[in-house]
Amino acid sequence: MIKSLRLAASVVVLAAAASAASAQAPQKPPEKAHVFTAKDMASLDRLSDPRVSPDGRYVLYSVRTLDYPANRATMSLWIADLKARMAPRRLAISDGGASSGRWSADGKSIYFSSSRASGTEQVFRTDVMGETATQVTNAPFDVQAFRVAPDGKTIVVGQAVFPDCADLACTEARLAAKTATKATGVVYDRLFVRHWDTWADGTQNHLFAWTLGPDGVATGQPIDLMKGFDGDTPTKPYGGDDDFTISPDSKMLTFSAKVAGKDEAWTTNYDMWGVPLDGSAKPTNYTGKNKAWDTAAVYSPDGKFSAFRAMKRPGFEADRFGIMIYDEVAQKARELAPTWDRSADSIAWSADGKTIYATALDVGQGKLFAIDVQTGKVTALTGDGHVSAFDVSPAGVVYASDSLKSPSELFLLGKKGPPVKIASVSNEALKDVAWGEPEQFNFKGWNDETVHGFVLKPANYDASKKYPVAFLIHGGPQGSFSNSWSYRWNPQVYANAGYAVVMVDFHGSTGYGQAFTDAISQHWGDRPLEDLQKGWAAALSKYAFLDGDRACALGASYGGYMVNWIAGNWNQPWKCLVNHDGVFDTRAMGYATEELWFTEWENGGTPWQPNTTYETFNPANHVDKWVKPQLVVQGQLDYRIPVEQGLATFSALQRKGVPSKLLYFPNENHWVLKAQNSVQWHKEVLDWLDQWTGNKRPGK
Q: Using CA atoms, how far apart are residues 659 and 576, in angstroms rounded to an integer?
A: 9
Q: Using CA atoms, how far apart are residues 295 and 242, in angstroms rounded to an integer?
A: 9
Contact of 574 with 566, CB cutoff 8 Å: yes
Q: Using CA atoms, how far apart are residues 244 and 273, in angstroms rounded to an integer?
A: 9
Contact of 477 with 516, CB cutoff 8 Å: no
Measure CA 653 to chain center. Answer: 32
Least Cα distance to 409 among 484, 512, 306, 505 occurs for 484
Q: Are strands 244-246 and 134-135 parallel, antiparallel or unpaired?
A: unpaired
Cα atoms found within 13 Å of the Cα of residue 385, Cβ hemisphere only? 22
Angle at 282 between CA 280 and CA 285, to 5 degrees: 135
Active site residue 76: no
Measure CA 193 to chain center. Answer: 24
Contact of 478 with 427, CB cutoff 8 Å: no
Q: Which of 195, 206, 507, 670 is catalytic?
A: 670
Q: Which amino acid is at 566?
A: I
| Residue 191 exposed, middle or buried by CB count within 10 Å (0-12, 13-18, 19+) | middle
State the DSSP code for 398: E
Kindly write down the DSSP assignment for every residue of 515-549, as one continuous string.
Answer: HHHHTTTT-TTTHHHHHHHHHHHHHHHH-TTEEEE
Least Cα distance to 534 among 504, 499, 558, 566 occurs for 504
Contact of 137 with 157, CB cutoff 8 Å: yes
Least Cα distance to 458 among 419, 497, 406 occurs for 497
* Coil vs helix vs strand at 345: coil
Q: Which of 557, 580, 682, 690 is catalytic?
A: 557
Active site residue 104: no
Q: Which of 224, 505, 638, 690 is catalytic?
A: 638
E strand or H helix that includes residue 180: helix 168-180
Active site residue 690: no
Report the Cα–Cα distance between both ends of the chain, in Å, rounded.
25
Question: Strand pairing partners for 502?
Answer: 455, 471
Q: Using CA atoms, how far apart are residues 370 and 360, in angstroms rounded to an integer?
A: 11
b or e along 512-523 (b: 16 or more beta carbons within 10 Å of the residue's beta carbon)?
bebebbbbbbbb
Q: Using CA atoms, how far apart are residues 55 and 37, in angstroms rounded to an integer?
A: 42
Contact of 398 with 412, CB cutoff 8 Å: yes
Q: Using CA atoms, how far apart are residues 450 and 247, in angstroms rounded to an integer?
A: 44
Measure CA 492 to chain center. Answer: 19
As annotated, the active-site residues are 557, 638, 670
